[in-house]
Amino acid sequence: MFVIVDKRDLVLEGYRKSFRREGVSSIGFHPHDFRDWLQTSSETDLAAVEAVLLGELGELADCSDLPAIIRRYMRIPVIALSEMNSLNLVLELFSAGVDDVVRKPVHVREILARANAIMRRLRTVRDDSVKVGDIRLFADGRPPLVGGEPLQLPRREYRILEHLVKNRGRRVTKRQLFNSVYGLFEDSVEESVIESHISKLRKKLRQRLGYDPVDSKRYLGYCLNEHPPAAEGGVAGRDERKIA
């Protein structure tokens, strides 16, 4: 989920629509509301944020500490959106701690590409992919390799797989997956829709790999396995305890 911070409602709504067209969840805040949200949000909500975009905030002097405040809570890209062709402003923004300054107008796809590039640097990963067992996910958004072959996935199923890969070795809840796919304040979609998405994803992964790589436990959530499940009673993967 991308967070847009701008003092203008029209700008916030415009970016939300643009991200929605690309299948990416986002929310918008006024600058002071964003500060309050950072301080009061749970770790689960903050973990759903992939990047913060800073637009028109008012006086820069009043908001110069915002990038540092963001990093107290999240290690994510902070990108400033500038409407002025001013070297002094760009230098001030970098001095304030942003990771990148983008001149408007800019397409959302470029923002996504820049955020992915910054995230790769933040993680100090030399390769542009992450491999978990027989699944390899690429940072540039190309189809994942599953069992050595590309697997085309709908956007929301891809986002679920991406979240599981990023949190490999840790269990994630249905609420965390919902926040990642739909955003924090989406009230027009029921949380239970995640069960349908993950069920379809698991079926496709099982057909490709011959086993279900997603371990699920009721009330605890989902975890991506590095290796095929051990055989039980002579048949691998007979554990059908699922919450999807």
Mean pLDDT check: name the lowest of 69-73, 91-95, 175-179, 229-233. 229-233
Distance CA 123, CA 110 (A): 20
Position with higher pLDDT, 234 vs 179: 179
Please state the domain count of the chain. Answer: 2
Q: Is the pLDDT of residue 224 over 70?
A: yes
Whether residue 229 is preceded by a cis peptide bond, meaning omega within 30 degrees of 0, is no
Residue 200, pLDDT score: 94
CATH of the domain at 177: 1.10.10.10
91 and 16 together in one domain: yes
Q: What is the DSSP string of 200-215?
A: HHHHHHHHHHSS--EE
137 and 210 together in one domain: yes
Residue 243 falls inside a structural domain: no
CATH of the domain at 21: 3.40.50.2300
Cβ 136 vs Cβ 160: under 8 Å: no
Position with higher pLDDT, 58 vs 21: 21
Residue 14, pLDDT score: 92
48 and 138 together in one domain: no
pTM here is 0.58
Average pLDDT rounded to a whole number, residues 214-220: 87
Residue 183, pLDDT score: 75
Average pLDDT rounded to a whole number, residues 234-239: 42
Q: What is the DSSP string of 87-129?
A: HHHHHHHHHHT-SEEEESS--HHHHHHHHHHHHHHHTT-SSSE
16 and 97 together in one domain: yes
Q: What is the DSSP string of 157-191?
A: HHHHHHHHHHTTTS-B-HHHHHHHHH-TT--SS-T
108 and 205 together in one domain: no
- Domain that includes residue 102, residue range: 2-122
Q: Is the pLDDT of residue 97 over 90?
A: no
